[in-house]
Amino acid sequence: MTKIDKLLNLEDETETVIQIGELLWEKSKNDKDFESLNEYEKNVIFIEMLEGQVNNGGFDQYFFNSSGEYAYETLKALEEIKANQTAKILNSAIKTFPTLPVPKDTEQRRELMEDIPDNISETWDKLDDEFYEYPENLAGLVIEYVKTNKKEFE
């Protein structure tokens, strides 16, 4: 039984996703841009970053930190796992960013966010609330994605 098989057999979905994420973070710990991960593995990491950052400080924190560098990749990852409602929320947050496309450079994003207008903050707050309601079971969708593409995670 592979490591992934063992993780997919855990009973708690959240724990399964956390453990898969830890496995991928460990695999990519010396990478600059997750270059040791394949596209399937990156999708899981991008979704994990989104979830962690938004749950910890909302879309403001998501874009402020390095996770914001991967906004478009994360949108694609959500679509890949069929988390269409969550993708719609992220897409709205992206469209609200002060300049498009959202800059890859963290310092540039932070500069743009220094004096963020109230209307953007208010929109992100509403999107945070929508995200927190979890319109989809993200953990379940990630697990299904890993199961469907298991060979890509071994």
Q: What pLDDT digit, counting tens, does each position of 127-151 carry?
A: 999 999 999 999 999 999 999 999 9
- Cβ neighbours of 131 (radius 10 Å): 23
pTM > 0.85: yes or no: yes
* Per-residue model confidence as pLDDT tens digits over 44-91: 999 999 999 999 999 999 999 999 999 999 999 999 999 999 999 999
Fill in the amino acid letter for 75. L
Residue 22 is part of which domain span?
3-153
Q: How many domains is the chain built from? A: 1
Residue 33: is its pLDDT beyond 90?
no
| CATH number of the domain residue 87 falls in | 1.20.1420.60
Taking the CB of residue 88, how many other CB atoms lie within 10 A of it?
15
Say if CB 63 and CB 102 are below 8 A apart.
yes
Q: Which of 146, 149, 139, 133 is nearest to 15 (CA)?
A: 139
